[in-house]
Amino acid sequence: MKVLVLGGTRFIGRAVVDALVDDHRVTVLNRGTRPPADPRVAQLRADRNEPAQVAAALRGSGGGFEAVVDVSGLEAGQVRGVLDALPPGAAPRYVFVSSAAVYRRPPGAGPAREDEPAPGDPVWGEYGTDKAACERLLAERCAGPLTVLRPPYVYGPRNTEQREQFLWARMLAGRPVFVPGAGESRVQFCHAEDLARTVRAACTGELAAGTYNVGEGRDHSFLEYLDLLATVAGVTPDLVPAPDQQVPAREYFPFRRLDLTLDTARLTAAGHPVERELAAGLAGTLDWFRAHGGLDDRPTPRELSWRAAPVRQAPSGAAVQLASRRTASAVGEPGSTL
């Protein structure tokens, strides 16, 4: 099968290409800032913000793509440019990697289901609403079978987001990990390779067209997640309640202070559950980062500001629940070794 992957050389895109290339003819379309890692992969160069470039690249490709995997589509205009550039009458399977950020749900609503409204949540800035707009456009325009995949937080080797590797770096260096609130927020994860395998199943038709939440079948509180990270790394973490609860969590922690959980029953019923447990996935991920680098424990600007000035003490309940070796009142004291 001839497959076009939009993106294909970075984190999720690289995992998708790796999952496809042994059995299929893979072409990637991207800006060409880095070559494909596998010499069997052909490359088309185009900026998706320039529809004329996309059209020219696809005209020169020979066409005939039986499946299109859209990893890099962030805005409806980028998706429209690809659909407009496909040859008349072309109806490839289209697999769109969307996001759980399309759901807009009140706090405490529980795991999101695929049949709920998905207009995008402004809490993610324009990311969620733009992904939702991409989904709507594809539903209107796709001539062939359309599969939309909605993962939560994606992790794994080559992660370009400073998430698990940021926290490991701090733990391994003996630095404190500042935790939003009492660490009660619940989040869910999907390993990049599991997402890529789901993409492959959608390309071949093993997974029927439709919309699916993709991720591990359970969620974790921030504290549970941090405990898994520490266990995998073999360290005892220094968890510190964030000293100023008015500061947005993303200024010092890799995740927003909100729940992000999904119901993955539809994917399981379709015969393609994500079976990898988070602990096992994290163990392999840490091995990769230790071998290839990327564990950076440099302090965030927010941490530097906390070091330089007195701070308000965190709520006492947070300190108790985190069972930290350090008290909140000590955070950021001048001359400290944070």
Confidence of residue 269 (pLDDT cuts 50, 70, 90): very high
DSSP state of 162: S
pLDDT exceeding 70 applies to what percent of the chain? 91
pLDDT confidence tier of residue 144, bands split at 50, 70 and 90: very high
Sequence spans of domains, the chain: 2-150
Dump pLDDT digits (tens) for 204-244.
999 999 999 999 999 999 999 999 999 999 999 999 999 78
Nearest to 53 by CA among 32, 74, 70: 32
Provide the token pair at 328.
Answer: 């909140």
Mean pLDDT check: name the lowest of 165-169, 234-238, 302-306, 325-329. Answer: 325-329
- Please give the angle made by the CA atoms of 66, 70 and 75, to the nearest 5 degrees: 140
Containing 155, the helix (H) or strand (E) segment is strand 153-155
Is residue 250 over pLDDT 80? Answer: yes
**Would you place residue 330 in the very low, low, confident or very high pLDDT band (cuts 50, 70, 90)?**
very low
The CA radius of gyration of the chain, in Å to the nearest whole number, is 21
pLDDT at 309: 63
- Cβ–Cβ < 8 Å for 259, 224: no
Average pLDDT over residues 38-44: 97
User: What average pLDDT score do residues 175-181 get?
Assistant: 94
pLDDT tens for 80-127 read 999 999 998 899 999 999 999 999 988 889 999 999 999 999 999 999
Please give the pLDDT value at position 303: 87
Q: How far apart are CA 31 and CA 333, in angstroms?
A: 46
Is 255's pLDDT higher than 90?
Answer: yes
Q: What is the pLDDT of residue 75?
A: 98
**Mean pLDDT of the 267-294 span:** 97
- The structure tokens 């995997």 sit at 69
CATH (residue range 2-150): 3.40.50.720
Percent of the chain with pLDDT over 90: 82
Please say if the pLDDT value at position 336 is more than 80. no
Residues comprising the chain, all counted: 338
| The pLDDT of residue 311 | 44
